[in-house]
Structure 1
Amino acid sequence: MARMIFVNLPVSDLTQSIAFYEAIGAVKDARFSDNTAACMTISESIHVMLLTHPKFRQFTPKAIADARANSEVLLALSAESREAVDGMVEQATGAGGKADPGPRQEHGFMYGRSFEDPDGHIWEVMWMDLAAFEAATAAAGR
């Protein structure tokens, strides 16, 4: 069985957050969702657990960071192409997210952009041409 990751995010408005993540292609898994949490499946191995603040507090004694004001984590997803990177950022923006809170990454063999969800969590979307990266690395003697 492949290892999976479950990213747990505190959200201020569960309904709004579900709609946002559905708009960028995640699918709600009703088996692991209720009025305090929603499991959003991004891929077979990547799941985002959207947790209301009271639910999130059940798992940690630490204060919940305001992701709009403080960096807490940067989450990154791969994309199949440069166009898919742009498409996901456009979907996020159309669903109420903020496009490009950080600079775009343009390295020839790699292209990336980012977006913020409604609670300020930053997601990076990256595309890489691994063959071009390996050729550039070999040419540089690394």
Structure 2
Amino acid sequence: MSALRARIFENENDLAALCALIAHARPVAWQSDYPGTMDLRELLAEPAVQNSTRLWETENGALVAYALVDESSNLLFDVLPEARSPALDAEIFAWGAECVRQRNAETNAQNTLDAVCRVENAERVAWLEHFGFTRQA
């Protein structure tokens, strides 16, 4: 895949692209998992979440990944299978960590970056563990 460019969430067109991405990035049985399309609409109604949402696009402007940090410091993301790479993985994690660092600095909090996924999503579990997340019940 060619070089990707990252940018911040901008508008309703981005929301539509995020919702469409879910259909291509997740197995059919997981498409309603959190965050689903309705969840994204609710989350992205909040300016703070809009500001913590990053999109990755091809040179042609095709959306291939997004990552956002919700108001509870959860990293939520989806990536098209053909766009997955160690470099993009690192960017997604770095984005999430930076969002939490900024919020902590602004609010004098000590939140950690968290994430959730299906236990049977071995690829996502391995991704999270690679970046230092630990399993919790």
TM-score (norm 1): 0.31
Of Structure 1 and Structure 2, the greater helix share is in 2
Of Structure 1 and Structure 2, the greater strand share is in 1
Bigger radius of gyration: 1
